[in-house]
Structure 1
Amino acid sequence: MTSRINVLLSDQSIPAHWGKSNISFAGDSVTIHLADSPDAARAVQAAARKLTNQGIRDVALAGEGWTEALQWRFASGFGEALEPGTIEWNGAGDQLEAQRDAALWLKSLTHASPEALSPEVLADEVAERLTALAPEKITSRRIVGEALLAAGWVGIHGVGRGSDRPPVMLELDYNPTGDTNAPVSVALVGKGITFDSGGYSIKPSTGMVTMKCDMGGAATVAAALKLAIRRGLDKRVKLYLCCAENLVSGHAYKLGDILHYKNGTSVEIVNTDAEGRLVLADGLIAANEAGAERIIDAATLTGAAMVALGSDYNALFCGDDAVAAEALTAAAKADEGLWRLPLAPIHADKCPSVFADTANSVAQKGGGGGGASNAAGFLSRFAGTPPKGWIHLDLAGSYVGGNGQNHEGATALGLLTVTELLMQA
């Protein structure tokens, strides 16, 4: 179909002759019936998937009942990974279009092939796209390859040294104040593993085929900053993207290696597939060096978070109850699933090593029991104590196979939560 379809909402039950569906058709209009749906938002998103599966790619959200939240739910379910389709909004069009633009950019980055999106390409794309929004307010710099080691960023260098394409740390400074001494209100840290083979702890093919998505954390925080800037963000924010390919070669890091971080922490490598926390550690140290008042990191970090929460929620880790409550409130306002999992001081010691201060994991399948909390505990060694707190988001739901709510690939779950936290900073 190529003609625009009007999509209406109804609080009436669907006529019996339409069967169990909640969608009825009349001419060039479709009606989504919500009377028998216990969760209107999920029903609208599921209806958008059904319409997509019937070949509809051009819609207008018409009539009454279209709240901003329901329109966004429809947009979240509509379209395919490479064919997003077009939507005519029913009110709040500028804001919704900005959100969709950010989400589609996030998805395009995540869906890019590993060959097309090297660490340097990812860093350059983010820097160029964000700088174009506010060139007088943004500066950036890249630290590439061996320069990382000279600067002390041993995690990014160690993970990325096995690839012929060098690892990169991108530091981007958005400073709308014009004051070079203005405090950094928030530091965003994103895991940017553009392809994750697992290294010498190599993944099976079934686990590796989607690993172009392992830069989803970097895409999420970059897109959130983009959206916040468009919304008029007036606080200084620094963005750190920790970009590398985790590959196997004669130069790759190995099990038993010891990394010595700038903050004095030594780390024994017991699993080269637990690489995300190694690069994030550098980003967290950099954020602390910048004196950030709040630090938010985002990463497709552990399968354990996905096992715990599935694809409807991201995992929240935070050592401060008040700060955790702020994050959960932001997620609720954004209508995004976020669930707090345990992070206590004991978790910093859950990856013990005889040869270093800590190991990067536990030498068990999946990192052993409590793997997501153990990974967060590892990161807590590098997070410092920013006065407004540290928030770690394990993006369990950010990349899923096609289901009744989302197309295959990136979901952009977490984008609006991070944006909301930036606007509230």
Structure 2
Amino acid sequence: MIDEINKSKYLDNSNEIAIIGIGLRFPHSESVLEFWDNLSKGRDLISHLPISGMSYDIDSLSEEEKERLVLRYGYLDNIEYFDPSFFNMNKKQAEQLDPQQRLFLMCAWEAIEDAGYNIDEIKSSTSIYAGASESGYSKITPKALDGMSQFQSEMSTMNKFIATRTSYTLNLKGESMLIDTACSTSLSAVYLASQSLLNGSSDYAIAGASCVQVNQGNGYIYEPNFILSPDGICRPFDANARGTVFGNGVGVVLLKRANDAIKDKDPIYAIIRGMGMNNDGNSKLGFTAPSYEGVSKVITKTHNDFNIDPNTISYIEAHGTGTYLGDPLEVAVYNKLQKNSKQKCAIGSVKSNIGHTDSVAGVAGLIKTALCLKHKRLVPTIHYNEPNPECNFDKGNLFVNTENIRWISKVGPLRASVTSLGIGGTNVYMILEEAPE
């Protein structure tokens, strides 16, 4: 089966999508090059927060609460910076606009520019699929005195307008859709944007999400058995993993049908070879819990639908939140998937570097994986020292990669998978492959 799949490489790209442009803002990373440098060097990009930056009174906390206070967050610098004239806005319009939408707009422009296109070349056939988290911006903006001004202010801070606002500002005339599947929002956006391309509704598609909490300085009070880490460090797959830490981020990709991208000689980060999406239903412990059955089904179905042998996957970018329940569930699925593999398969999670960026989490993993494919290197998953005993790494071919190493496949082109799981049960799975030479 492997030989048959490898022989057909690039002979038929009709169901494949090319990632040709990237725009991003992640902690300590304001460009693709900066993000790749940080990942390559295994940097922890979560910031230590000063107590002076907290918006509530530290003296109001009990001594026990003070001991559980965690002052770490995936901080984004310069979220207030925006050039309204560049986007034909006046100062008042820009001030009203939620920073999440400002930054998404900037990243969408940068993704187009990164692909080498002028916005006027693609505006008539470019769709946007986008989502956003709750930023808190509406709570700190001055209240308008009249109804019209209040209406304009509300429209500028509502997440529902993130896609259409971008289409309007950039004069893009394809589909313009808001997506919200909680933590899997951005990878759901990529999935649906890809479908738009494959069915011919658009020729280019912008997909991603924005998560920018305007109050970044509060930290949190640790609660045992909750999803947040006791020390603000996310340790995917590690024995000491006790939860995640949140962070801000914006991630946008520009997509195009692979056949067209190859023909037009576009710069290609990676090819999306296969993709799937489903929901768990109620086959799990509760609404917020992941489901082994649901995750396993979307992965298995994707490989079957696109005729891709799972044993050709040599890297997995997992959801990997560093929770004691979620990590072992994912590893159990992948152990079963990789049981007949002739090569070791690395597994990792970008959340160890930047934390959980909520609606942006999926595209953050996708961008990391696309960059690894482009550079043919695997970057370290940090804060991993000893395997979580519940993950059963000794029963499969998986290993957590902790070094910057050359990426080599023994069975054909480099292939990876990306998984994103959303609270509420929407799972998205994608299979990526290195771009053709």
> What TM bracket, shorter-length normalisation?
under 0.3
How does the TM-score come out when normalised to structure 2?
0.26
Higher relative contact order (CA 8 A, sep 6+): 2
How does the TM-score come out when normalised to structure 1?
0.27
